[in-house]
Each structure stands twice: as structure tokens, then as C-alpha cells.
Amino acid sequence: MDKAQWIASLFSEMAADVHPGVRAFFWFNENKKTEADWRITSCNAPAAQEAYRAGVATDRYVTRR
């Protein structure tokens, strides 16, 4: 699963009310060189960023727009 698919899956599970109380979350947007690159922009293709934007675009989440 690539990063875009993983992000889309995250939002799909939350939309399916697997976790109905979740209304906000923090994205760990950092490159941890000894672990993984968690930044949304770490992918060359814009698909991960588009998946994130689509996921947070719903009224379910509190965002800093």
C-alpha cells in the first residue's frame, strides 16, 4: 500500500464510524530518518496530498483552514 492509499484508507475507516468520537487528529509531519518519512509531501506524486485534502474536507473534522 502506498502513502496515498494508506491516507485514503485512514479516512475511509474513520468515515465508517469505526472510531465515531474522532473529530480531530494531529498529523506527525516530520521526516524521522531513523524510522520513516511521515511528511505528506514525501511522495513525488501529488496523490498523497490530494488524499489528505479530500479526507479533511468533510465537516467531520476540525481544521485550520
Domains of the chain, residue spans: 3-15+23-56
Look at residue 63 in the predicted model and tell me its pLDDT. 67
Identify which has the larger pLDDT, 45 or 12: 12
Taking only the tens place, the pLDDT of each residue in 18-59 is 777 777 777 878 888 888 888 888 877 799 899 988 988 888
pTM: 0.73
12: its cell numbers: 475511509
- First CA to last CA distance, the chain: 29
**Do residues 39 and 29 lie in contact, with contact meaning Cβ atoms separated by under 8 Å?**
yes
Distance in angstroms (rounded) separating the CA atoms of residues 27 and 39: 8
